[in-house]
Amino acid sequence: MTHLLAAQGKGQLMQADVLNNAPVIVVAGSETTATLLSGVTYYLLTNPRVYDKLKKEVRGTFNSDEEITIDRIGDLPYLLAVLDEALRLYPPGANPHLRRIPPEGAILGGKFIPGNTAVGMNQYVVHRSEENFARPDEFIPERWIDGDQEPWKNDRREALQPFSFGPRNCIGRKYVLNLENPFFTVRVANP
């Protein structure tokens, strides 16, 4: 919002542009974060082994809530794996982000797609496909840590794109992955 208002102040955006984009930014930022945290909470509560392992990692790394900072979250590989696995099974924005095929057409997956065709990928389907992940319907954070071992060795981890990628990726990615972690980590460590 700060950047939108600054651009408006410099005459780069009209007030209508700011007003049209503000609701999207607010909803996208808050709703996706809430959805991710809901998914993580659900999977931790239904997988006591994972919850206990995560709690042990957090309590073994930090002695107090004050020690938990964004910079220190990188010291928690299991927490990061839990978040990746929750994003895989419970993607906050699972609907396709449609793009248009160039006017001359393109070949996708070995098939010609006519120009100007809208195409997209449903993350829920991709993330739960056996072509991409072993035991795709199971919540197993270890797949993100032990990726070179069976049965995860052939997982296509690059298929996990919950924030899209390229020039149209979600600008809020860093906030979802970084700002919410300390809050969530405190709650896991001290429920």
**pLDDT by residue, tens only, the chain of 191 residues:** 455 556 555 666 667 766 766 666 665 555 667 788 889 999 999 999 999 999 999 889 988 878 887 778 778 899 989 989 998 998 877 667 788 999 999 999 899 999 999 998 888 888 999 999 999 999 999 999 988 899 999 999 888 876 655 555 555 555 555 544 554 554 555 55
Q: Are residues 104 and 88 in the same domain?
A: no
Nearest CA to 141 among 96, 78, 48, 67?
78
End-to-end CA distance of the chain: 33
Distance CA 187, CA 157 (A): 28
Pair type for strands 106-108 and 99-100:
unpaired
Q: Tell me if the pTM is above 0.75.
A: no
- Binding residues for heme, as ranges, are 170
What's the DSSP call for residue 122?
-
CATH code for position 46: 1.10.630.10
Report helix angle 77-89 to 48-61, nearest 10.
150
- Residue 46 belongs to domain spanning: 2-93+128-189
Domain count, the chain: 2
Q: Are residues 10 and 21 in the same domain?
A: yes
The tens digit of pLDDT for each residue in 107-154 reads 998 999 999 999 988 888 889 999 999 999 999 999 999 888 999 999
